[in-house]
Amino acid sequence: MTMTVHQAEAVANRQALRDIPLFNDQRLKLGVFGSNCSGGIIMSEAPTDSRITWDQQLRVAQQADRMGMELIVPVARWKGFGGRTNFMGSALETFTWAAGLAQATEQISIFATTHLPAVHPIVAAKQAATIDQIAGGRFGMNMVMGWFKEEIEMFGRPQYDHTARYAYGQEWLDFAQHLWTAPGPFDFDGQFFTAFGAESEPKPILSPRPALICAGNSPTGMDFSARNVDVNLAVLDSLEGAREYKRKISALAADSYHRTLDVFTYGLVVCRETEKEAKQAVQGIIDQGDTEGADLVISGLGIESESYQGVIDAFRERFVLGWGGTVLVGTPEQVTEQLAELSEAGIGGIILGFHDYANELEDFDREVMPLLRKEGLRH
């Protein structure tokens, strides 16, 4: 098959995707997650110095950048969850946040998280290309279909059912990919979008598209990820589960779409000098947990069942303590060991939340990073 000049260029430039840190050869890639939202990934009234100020955003992103971390991923949130803390009620908008941080950092990939139903692909494609110019190819997008009903209803329309959300997402992305690669103008005639004479210049520096990640974990979400993204963010319940998940999504990508993708996860780090101090800090977060808020999240996710109250209680604690993710607790040695186990299970990277992002990230750099290097997880 003969390639057009444009296709040949796209393939040649595709090298560039591997040149950015997100695709480097570190055994365990690292990132920051959720620092743009009040509460971060903790639903608790336990005191913290974390604030949603620009000074703190800069401090966190620049620290992660200096540490050689690969990515920083914000949470897209248009509405708080209510409860005692109105968890994530104050959230910096992620494209504008990413633009500011792209200018202020050197090597780290800066992500915007976007609810696809909240932004038109023509607008998002150009925002992405613009930020990618600022970032010199370090921009990426975390794609969210929208699941928090009240949030999506703020936009004046009902939330699509689960399957339709992903059908919409696929069409949204097909349209955006066309805008990122086609010279234009072109017409687009889909189920959800119609456009006449569409075009978008400039293209993103990272060709043929920005780095893409997605946290879909349902069969439809895994299929969407296997088909489209560079990294799937997995919600894990055990190391065995991690292995199985990685095997399943990799096979899906290879068999159905002849491609590969990496699997990362997310986690809360509570690392202290002694195990006792770390456990006390965890207990403090749980004791002052916003259980009302957690219940609102749980019911928003559709997890409601009287007969499974025990499961729901466990879920509540998992949401209070790290948004349902892995919790890495203990001394620097113990946290390193837990990270090594994840890597051993096939997890390629982890994006981290902290109770006090700015200060604890500095602690992590000082205490944990040297151990990760010693273990061969980082170089």
Ligand X SMILES: Cc1cc2nc3c(=O)[nH]c(=O)nc-3n(C[C@H](O)[C@H](O)[C@H](O)COP(=O)(O)O)c2cc1C
Q: Does 144 bind ligand X (CB under 6 A)?
A: yes
Is residue 181 a contact partner of residue 107, using CB atoms and an 8 Å limit? Answer: no
R_g (Cα) of the chain, nearest Å: 20
In this complex, which beta carbon is closest to ligand X, that of residue 218 or of residue 280? 218
Going by C-alpha positions, the residue among 136, 124, 95, 90 that lies closest to residue 112 is 95
Number of residues that bind ligand X (CB under 6 A): 16
Minimum CB–partner distance for residue 166 and ligand X (Å):
7
Rounded Cα distance, 54 and 70, in Å: 21
Rounded Cα distance, 164 and 175, in Å: 16
Q: Does 31 bind ligand X (CB under 6 A)?
A: no
In this complex, which beta carbon is closest to ligand X, that of residue 69 or of residue 145? 145
Distances (CA, A) of 232 to 13, 75, 154, 197, 253: 23, 15, 28, 33, 11
Q: Does 319 bind ligand X (CB under 6 A)?
A: no
Distances (CA, A) of 375 to 267, 293, 331, 337, 379: 20, 39, 15, 9, 9
Rounded Cα distance, 340 and 268, in Å: 15
Q: What part of residues 65-84 is at the interface with ligand X (CB under 6 A)?
A: 75-76
φ/ψ of residue 350, rounded to 5:
-145, 135
In this complex, which beta carbon is closest to ligand X, that of residue 249 or of residue 282? 249
Is residue 79 a contact partner of residue 150, using CB atoms and an 8 Å limit? Answer: yes
Minimum CB–partner distance for residue 326 and ligand X (Å):
11
Write out the two tokens for 190. 């889909």
Q: What part of residues 232-251 is at the interface with ligand X (CB under 6 A)?
A: 233, 235
Minimum CB–partner distance for residue 148 and ligand X (Å):
6
Going by C-alpha positions, the residue among 81, 79, 78, 77 that lies closest to residue 33 is 77
Minimum CB–partner distance for residue 24 and ligand X (Å):
20
In this complex, which beta carbon is closest to ligand X, that of residue 140 or of residue 216? 216
- Tokens 């939202």 sit at which residue? 37
Residue choice 44, 50, 57, 113 for contact with ligand X (CB under 6 A): 113
Minimum CB–partner distance for residue 215 and ligand X (Å):
3
From 19-27, 143-151, 246-254, 277-285, give the range in contact with ligand X by CB under 6 A.
Answer: 143-151
Q: What part of residues 255-314 is at the interface with ligand X (CB under 6 A)?
A: 266
Write out the two tokens for 205. 């520096």
Question: Greatest CA separation found in the chain?
Answer: 64
In this complex, which beta carbon is closest to ligand X, that of residue 122 or of residue 235? 235
Minimum CB–partner distance for residue 224 and ligand X (Å):
7
Q: What part of residues 333-362 is at the interface with ligand X (CB under 6 A)?
A: none
Q: Does 221 bind ligand X (CB under 6 A)?
A: yes
Minimum CB–partner distance for residue 331 and ligand X (Å):
25
Distances (CA, A) of 16 to 12, 124, 315: 8, 21, 41
Q: What part of residues 159-218 is at the interface with ligand X (CB under 6 A)?
A: 215-218
Minimum CB–partner distance for residue 153 and ligand X (Å):
13
Q: Does 61 bind ligand X (CB under 6 A)?
A: no
Q: Does 148 bind ligand X (CB under 6 A)?
A: yes
Rounded Cα distance, 124 and 308, in Å: 41
Minimum CB–partner distance for residue 149 and ligand X (Å):
11
From 3-11, 142-150, 187-195, 306-314, give the range in contact with ligand X by CB under 6 A.
Answer: 142-150
Residue nearest to ligand X (CB): 221
Is residue 290 a contact partner of residue 320, using CB atoms and an 8 Å limit? Answer: yes
In this complex, which beta carbon is closest to ligand X, that of residue 30 or of residue 195? 30
User: What residue ranges bind ligand X (CB under 6 A)?
Assistant: 75-76, 113, 144-145, 147-148, 215-218, 220-221, 233, 235, 266
